[in-house]
Structure 1
């Protein structure tokens, strides 16, 4: 495989391609959002859809303040004494811990606040807080920086723990990550979901470089200690109880909260936050928080760690480099197929590993490789077209000095006949009798015009029979059949060419009145082994056919002159024609002596106008 692009262009393309891919990789490793992430979310949702819904978590139950609860208890927000009663019912049902995804900021009735504070303090509880983040102020660790914070009422905050419910959504508003830590003026604050999981496990979270450990369970996190959400399914996939049923249990109702994590939140229509998720276009925020808590408790979030991001980056760089090298070295079609195979293979890997909970970035290799590879493909196509036009012009120019068939073969294979080869071929010689005296009378310019017309007839006749002109020699020409490749009907085509030459040249002479000057047209042809080779210097060569066959064919013109005929064909040639086309009607067969050759040769002789019929 040889590069078709100039070395400078190749080096520049590789450098620019790797720089582009490196910039995207750097952004990806830093966890910074980019345009490619928009496409990644689409491919991620496709993988989620392929994986389907998962079994609901066993330890997490949602207590929903739904439409039925509001109809029964009163308008939202529910009175805090009603919330206190609800918390008591959750505790009495055996819940091990409670996460209240309701913003209980500001004081209300002192007695009601006291009742709710006492209820919240009666079991491990975390209450939601919310914060506004400082834009562009994230430290190198990637932990969100809190600018302002909305906390529960002081009485409630004193009775329980507070966790921030802020989440990270993509450009389409779908929650993808939940920060586990927030940087406040007083230090690091755990998130709502992390606080809830720690309360349930009766432990303190241990933050490590790679993630967080809860009660011996290691949970791997994304950059900045963000939890990549692994959704269970559509709305209601996590077991959900109506708060109204807890406050006023219907007959036979059993909450089955014993030893479970209860997540209290709002699902009532037009109340509370709603999010679009891969499974559900409208999912209550409490279910998103419950999903995060379940991911922590089961140590089963989507795995998107620093190591996974490095794997994404390595794939992007290798695919980009491999595809560009393929475009440089291979023909465009195979290179394009190879590039598509690389991308398809990476997509398959992403889908397979997603089934194991590993979130590989399917888009990054596309985004990193597509611009440089497409740019290189276009550059290569333009370069190839320019080179093809140059080669075509060179071939056309070469065809003026060599037979077009030889020129094409040389352009396709510059090493053609670098080593001489021997093969069977039919060689023809044609010349004009009386040319010397004619050229003396015509002068140089008119002689050139005369020869040009003669040579045009020769080229047209030999081309019609798929032979080649090996050489022009003034008023004569040397022709070959079976060069550069042999064919079974070469002998027959050589014979047809011999008679056609005599006929067409004679007709031209009569038409132009030159038959008074040129007494006859002579053609001699022989079949035998010839040596095809390059003759000349390394920097100036020509393709030549040499050997006894060539010498004999040229001497047959003398035989034609001595016997006053126009066409002389050797018996060797006639015998080969007979095998494929049948015997030719031969007016005379003679055994003649060939000048410079000891062995005599049997030949067929035809006078002008005696051309035989071919079957």
Structure 2
């Protein structure tokens, strides 16, 4: 089940990722990508690209914004006079103004073979996507082109970029579909002109002269920002018009003219700067095309992302199934950290691997896995509790608790001292014959409950019930010096309690009685039985002797018979409180030596007969 969840989640996320579908994971991925930018730090910008910025000083000298066309004409001529490799204008010249100024600007642009800016407007929904050259391209609803006064003899390129939900530029689309035509971006047209070579476009790369750039979905280049505002070489338009020495940096380089003044609105938030001018964003894409140093994220990287998602999800599932929960969670955390470290290391080499996708594939697996483990653990705990309750039902409660805490208890036999108590009902055979099996079982159930309660009250264990009899041990689980005293107290408690119970049971007709024998001595406490079916009990001569004391009681007509060994172990105070009615030295069946015992009578007639044999 967990493996199926891992496979399903990873494959679904991977399919969306390879298809470029927008998901909430993009927000997480973009935030983690910005973190990688900060970890890597700014880097040197390529030398061939220069920005001529229309900054606050240039606007002040020109007399306002937008800059008059005549001032732009002078700026274009000043740049052209310094022999740039190519010139791009990141200003939308969409409408006509003063004819003589527009004419001057048009002539200057044509002479400089400048590439002008255009912009595409996209519809919402699937209509904004077209398929061409085996790729899904953005499809324009309409295109804003330079006015005819400026477009004659010049080319134009689109300045559109692809930004995320926060407005941070992420990709530079190289081509836009427009009614069956493919329109290039301004950086692409400018790079081709600067290289003097036609771009060679393939689904996964574009080659412009010696530079090769890897492409992402939609024939786009992921931005790899060089640093904050001004990292790309920037010259003030005002300084250039004044002929300052910095203007000499234009020669032999690709020049992009655009607005860099604060307050013009053409800015973007990037990982290094919240107000990077739009012209510097385009210049970044232009630099990527000229040097091939853009981020590498394409089909191969997306396959690696999908494989990582599958491996991490399946690995998490297997760990949760095979390892203890705490160990599994720790190892899963190490897997996640290892992947994060791998994406950071890859980014430092210019590769964009998804951080969020594989981690997201792990989340449902961890959630269902831990939840399932909790359910299973709870089920196991319930089963264990039921088994323990069942164990307690077949063993004395204290012995069952000891076995639950220490399953190896008495794996090896133990020789110790213990007090043994046997009891038996007199005349029960005839009663059971009259009652039949079912009523006899019900009668015995009450008898056993009474015996269990009285023995447990005094700290003893009922090791086994034998029909109308029972064997009880004091000191089996944890021997103590007062085992004999407690056994004697239990016997003195049992006799009147069982007599009262017998008197209340019509089946005995008021004639029922009991025999109790108690002895203290050395026993062997062990597990008896086969390896798959065992019971814990006490064995040895002391156990046999305690059992034989019930026969002595029958011969004496006594309800309770205890050995001198038990009396010695119980202490004089306990013996005095017992109120024994006689002492005898008796023969024990199966033993050569006689035994001195103390006893209490069942009734006064029996006592008189025994006293005058």
Q: TM-score, normalised by structure 2?
A: 0.79
Change (3 A) 1:593 1:377: farther
Aligned to 2:573: none
Q: Is the 8 A contact 2:420 2:542 kept in 1?
A: no
**1:264 Cα offset (Å):** 0.5
Q: In the alignment, does 2:259 pair up with 1:273?
A: no
Q: Is the 8 A contact 1:438 1:517 kept in 2?
A: no
- What is the alpha-carbon distance in structure 2 between the residues aligned to residue 604 and residue 313 of structure 1? 88
1:200 equivalent among 170, 194, 198:
194
Change (3 A) 1:447 1:371: closer
Aligned to 2:8: 19
Change (3 A) 1:403 1:260: farther
Task: Spell out the pairing of 1:367-382 with structure 2 (5 A cutoff).
Answer: 367-382=360-375
- What is the alpha-carbon distance in structure 1 between the residues aligned to residue 189 and residue 382 of structure 2? 71
- What is the alpha-carbon distance in structure 2 between the residues aligned to residue 147 and residue 341 of structure 1? 48
1:358 equivalent among 348, 351, 356:
351
5+ residue gaps, structure 1 = 1-9, 484-489, 536-540, 574-591, 610-615
- What is the alpha-carbon distance in structure 1 between the residues aligned to residue 104 and residue 521 of structure 2? 122
Aligned to 2:160: 166
5+ residue gaps, structure 2 = 502-511, 554-560, 570-585, 601-613
SS at 2:130 equivalent: coil
2:141 equivalent among 137, 147, 150:
147
Task: Spell out the pairing of 1:180-329 with structure 2 (5 A cutoff).
Answer: 180-249=174-243, 254-329=247-322
SS at 2:135 equivalent: coil
Change (3 A) 1:434 1:221: closer
- What is the alpha-carbon distance in structure 2 between the residues aligned to residue 202 and residue 604 of structure 1? 125
Q: Is the 8 A contact 1:462 1:469 kept in 2?
A: no
**1:528 Cα offset (Å):** 4.5
Change (3 A) 1:498 1:355: farther
**1:313 Cα offset (Å):** 0.9
**1:177 Cα offset (Å):** 0.6
Q: In the alignment, does 2:19 pair up with 1:30?
A: yes
Task: Spell out the pairing of 1:590-601 with structure 2 (5 A cutoff).
Answer: none
1:123-175 deviation line (CA, Å, top 9, x unaligned)? 45321111112441332612112221111123432322211111101111111
Aligned to 2:381: 388
**1:255 Cα offset (Å):** 4.1
2:334 equivalent among 336, 341, 349:
341
- What is the alpha-carbon distance in structure 1 between the residues aligned to residue 281 and residue 382 of structure 2? 63
Change (3 A) 1:527 1:554: closer
CA radius of gyration, larger in: 2
Aligned to 1:502: 488
**1:455 Cα offset (Å):** 1.9
Aligned to 1:583: none
- What is the alpha-carbon distance in structure 1 between the residues aligned to residue 273 and residue 48 of structure 2? 22
Deviates more, 1:213-222 or 1:153-162: 153-162
Change (3 A) 1:96 1:593: farther
1:394-429 deviation line (CA, Å, top 9, x unaligned)? 321332013557767988999x89xx9644354857
1:455 equivalent among 431, 441, 452:
452
- What is the alpha-carbon distance in structure 2 between the residues aligned to residue 59 and residue 409 of structure 1? 84
Matched positions, count: 553
Aligned to 1:424: 414
Change (3 A) 1:482 1:72: farther
Change (3 A) 1:447 1:115: closer
